[in-house]
Amino acid sequence: MRHIRAVLFDMDGTLVDSDAAVERAWTIWSHEYGVDPADVLAIAHGSPAESTVDRLRPDLSAEERAAAAVRQLELQYDDLSDVVATRGAVELLSTLRLPWAVVTSADNRLAKVRLAVAGIEPPVLVTVEDITRGKPDPEGYLRAAELLGVPPQHCLVVEDAEVGLAAGRAAGAVTAGLKGLQADIQLTDLHQLAELLSADTGSTDLSAG
């Protein structure tokens, strides 16, 4: 942890508890597009809507798949009733001394409304609209590291989905996994990450350099 100079967070499920809203949207979408909801929910978490639609309905034309992805996002924009910050997120960010960013598979509109509802304002936000290839491609995390001016190998990627951890590994970053996922660091929640970072910053100034 002592060589970590920036933290790159996933949004949904990591900083923002939006799992119920995401599942509701995909369930409605699956009925509209004739897909088993269980098949959708098995692969959708953490991935861009476009890539999930491509996998589920490859029979559609490119234009139809694009429209289907737009429809899925539309279902999420106004469904904010139970969207909140995850356990420990606000406390972690209020004490974090390192540069940080959010890297999400959501589009700009959805990311901003969810983060705002959760009371989180990232200094750097990279959405699916800022890149050409979504997770598990490392482009989003590499872009965030570049914007923060920190080499990827000195970044900690915090994720709750395997597709996001794969992106972090491909970027060359140290990874931290929530929800029992295998990563360089396994976290029970963000309170634990706050304690780990606080312990290291107490003896080493991680914001230097």
The pLDDT assigned to 200 comes to: 66
CB 145 within 8 A of CB 155: yes
Q: Which residues are catalytic?
A: 10, 12
DSSP 22: H
The boundaries of every CATH 3.40.50.1000 domain in the chain are 6-18+83-201
Q: What pLDDT shows up at residue 208?
A: 32
Q: Tell me, what DSSP letter sits at residue 60? A: S
pLDDT score, position 198: 84
Decide: pTM greater than 0.95: no
Q: Is the pLDDT of residue 207 over 50?
A: no
- What φ, ψ does residue 175 adopt, rounded to 5°? -115, 145
The 10s digit of each residue's pLDDT in 23-74 is 999 999 999 999 999 999 999 888 889 999 999 999 999 999 999 999 999 9
Under CATH, which number does the domain 6-18+83-201 receive?
A: 3.40.50.1000
